[in-house]
């Protein structure tokens, strides 16, 4: 028997009804002793198809939906009011049109169908892909960085501005620690001021603005700061002085910090050209300095007594530690002495200089004439003994490394170090 279909209380086809369908202007079909709504073709509108997927998408985006109650023995069809759609097994693939607005996605299985209302949103900048900082071990002044500007949609746009934020909670919650909103200069990266706390979780949020289409969505990355903050940029103020590089010690790698120029003094290595036990280390200036921390060794005693930044662990650098200072903080562009510079204790290890390498430092304050620059062409004492009567020093114009009588007066500049 053909099913009875009723619309607005009027029989369209089939035998006379026993129970009247609702008089609401919709179509119904008699089924199992009751009435079920149909579409205008008579197909049942029972919502028996479950879908998993977003209801809001952007123009031209391709999105997948999964039929959650998929029946492998049933035949499925899909239709859409705008855009394109296809089905493969339990997966529906939909590509939105190039125009924003409402869209109806229809899934048909046998006599049943489900209409899903979707919202196609306007085009805008894509959410940035955050590339920095790392998720763990972050310093107190991290570099925030994200990938290139991209658009969602068929049209191009120009990257006009970036919003940078750092929060204490996810989803831009908690305390706003720092921000740079509407930044038109630092579009893809920016270094934060040194304001973060150690061993703390933070969340960086970034979004891009296009010149034509305005702001896109936020991206977020969580990160945790290190248990101890260490410097990362040569010449960066840190720990009572300035970051000079890294050195290898017997127990691991250390960052080397050189004292400000105001700490420089002109002193003799020793008051006699005689041997000093315990001063032969090429990389452990602290051990060397402790071995001669007395009035007969003016240079080392001065450095051990220095307390810049409130720290008491300053010392006269060993030969290889002094070389790291020259390699990274070379004041001028004088050609280097190519017979000097080999350093197996620097990180990374280094061979002898070439005429042009190292070049003049990139740290502005340490360039010749800068407030913190090493004095050229003067020599600086190291704490490393070369022989019973001589010790090593280095010239900061061309990097030449020599040894000379301990009685000579040379410049000294304290350093300190922190283990990584």
Report yes or no on 232 lying in a domain: no
Q: Which of 121, 136, 169 is the last residue of a domain?
A: 121
**Residue 231, pLDDT score:** 86
242: CB partners within 8 A, 6+ apart: 235, 236, 257, 258, 260, 329, 363, 365, 366, 372
Q: Which of 121, 147, 169 is the last residue of a domain?
A: 121
Which has the closest alpha carbon to 51: 125, 117, 134?
117
Report yes or no on 45 lying in a domain: no
**How many domains does one find in the chain?**
4
Q: Are residues 287 and 404 in the same domain?
A: yes
Task: Residue 172: give its domain's CATH number.
Answer: 2.60.40.10
pLDDT tens for the chain, 420 residues long, are: 333 333 333 333 333 333 444 444 444 444 454 445 554 444 444 446 889 999 999 888 899 999 999 988 888 999 999 999 999 999 999 999 988 999 999 999 888 888 999 999 888 999 999 999 999 999 888 999 999 999 987 789 999 999 999 999 999 999 999 999 999 999 999 999 889 999 999 999 999 999 999 999 999 999 999 988 888 889 999 999 999 999 999 999 999 999 999 999 999 999 999 999 999 999 999 999 999 999 999 999 999 999 999 999 999 999 999 999 999 999 999 999 999 999 999 999 999 999 999 999 999 999 999 999 999 999 999 999 999 999 999 999 999 999 999 999 999 999 999 988
Q: Are residues 241 and 343 in the same domain?
A: yes
Q: Are residues 371 and 331 in the same domain?
A: yes
Q: Are residues 28 and 116 in the same domain?
A: no
Report yes or no on 46 lying in a domain: no
155: CB partners within 8 A, 6+ apart: 123, 212, 213
Domain holding 193, by residue range, is 125-224
Which has the closest alpha carbon to 39: 117, 115, 116, 118?
115
Q: Are residues 382 and 355 in the same domain?
A: yes
Alpha-carbon distance 83 to 376, whole Å? Answer: 71
Which has the closest alpha carbon to 12: 40, 33, 32?
40
Establish how many alpha carbons lie within 13 A of residue 187's alpha carbon, considering only the half-sphere containing its beta carbon: 14
**pTM for this entry:** 0.55
Alpha-carbon distance 256 to 318, whole Å? Answer: 11
What 3 state SS string does the chain have? CCCCEEECCEEEECCCCCCCCCCCCCEEEEECCEEEEECCCCCECCCCCCEECCCEEECCCEEEEEECCCCCCCCEEEEECCCEEEEECCEEEEECCCCCEEEEEEEEECCEEEEEEEEEECCEECCCCEEECCCCCECCCCEEEECCCCEECCCCCCEEEEEEEEEEECCCEEEEEEEEEEECCCCCEEECCCCCCCCCEEEEEEEEEECCCEECCCEEEEEEECCCCCCCCCCCEECCEEEEEEEEECCEEEEEEECCHHHCEEEECCCCCCCCCCCCCCCCHHHHHHHCCCCCCHHHHHHHHCCHHHCCCCECCCHHHHHHHHHHHCCCCCCCCCCCCCECCECCCECCCCCCCCCCCCCHHHCCCCCCCCCCCCEEEEEEECCCCEEEEEECCCCCEEEEECCCEEEECCEEEEEC
Q: Which of 85, 100, 121 is the last residue of a domain?
A: 121
Q: Are residues 283 and 323 in the same domain?
A: yes
Q: Cβ distance 326 to 396 under 8 Å?
A: yes
Q: Are residues 249 and 272 in the same domain?
A: yes
Report yes or no on 83 lying in a domain: yes
Q: Are residues 107 and 157 in the same domain?
A: no
**Residue 21, pLDDT score:** 42
Q: Are residues 220 and 243 in the same domain?
A: no
């Amino acid at each position: 028997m053909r099913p009875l279909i009723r619309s607005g209380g009027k029989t369209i086809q089939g035998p006379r009804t026993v129970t009247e369908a609702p008089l609401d202007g919709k179509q119904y079909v008699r089924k199992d002793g009751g009435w079920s709504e149909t579409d205008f073709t008579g197909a049942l509108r029972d919502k028996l198809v479950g879908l998993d997927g977003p209801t809001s998408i952007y123009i031209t985006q391709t999105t997948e939906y999964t039929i959650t109650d998929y029946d492998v023995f049933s035949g499925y069809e899909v239709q859409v009011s705008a855009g394109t759609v296809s089905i493969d097994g339990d997966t529906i693939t939909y590509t939105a049109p190039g125009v924003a607005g409402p869209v109806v996605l229809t899934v048909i299985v046998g006599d049943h169908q489900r209409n899903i209302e979707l919202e196609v949103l306007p085009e805008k900048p894509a959410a940035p892909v955050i590339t920095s900082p790392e998720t763990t071990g972050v310093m107190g002044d991290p570099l925030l960085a994200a990938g290139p500007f991209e658009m969602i949609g068929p049209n191009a746009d120009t990257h006009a501005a970036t919003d940078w934020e750092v929060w204490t909670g996810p989803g831009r919650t908690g305390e706003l620690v720092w921000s740079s909103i509407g930044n038109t200069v630092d579009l893809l990266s920016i270094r934060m001021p040194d304001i973060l706390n150690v061993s703390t979780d933070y969340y960086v949020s970034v979004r891009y603005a296009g010149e034509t289409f305005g702001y896109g969505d936020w991206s977020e990355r969580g990160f945790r700061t290190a248990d101890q903050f260490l410097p990362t940029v040569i010449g960066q103020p840190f720990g009572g002085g300035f970051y000079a590089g890294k050195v290898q010690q017997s127990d691991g790698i250390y960052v080397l910090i050189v004292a400000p120029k105001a700490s420089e003094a002109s002193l003799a290595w020793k008051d006699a050209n005689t041997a000093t036990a315990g001063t032969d280390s090429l990389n452990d200036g602290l051990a060397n300095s402790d071995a001669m921390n007395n009035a007969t060794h003016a240079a080392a005693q001065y450095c051990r007594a220095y307390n810049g930044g409130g720290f008491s662990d300053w010392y006269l650098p060993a030969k290889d530690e002094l070389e790291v200072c020259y390699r990274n903080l070379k004041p001028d562009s004088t050609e280097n002495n190519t017979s000097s510079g080999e350093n197996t204790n620097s990180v990374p290890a280094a061979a002898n200089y070439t005429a042009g390498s190292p070049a003049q430092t990139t740290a502005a304050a340490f360039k010749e004439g800068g407030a913190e620059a090493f004095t050229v062409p003067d020599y600086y004492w190291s704490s490393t003994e070369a022989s019973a009567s001589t010790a090593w020093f280095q010239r900061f114009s061309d990097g030449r490394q020599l040894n000379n009588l301990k009685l000579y007066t040379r410049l000294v500049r304290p350093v300190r170090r922190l283990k990584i």
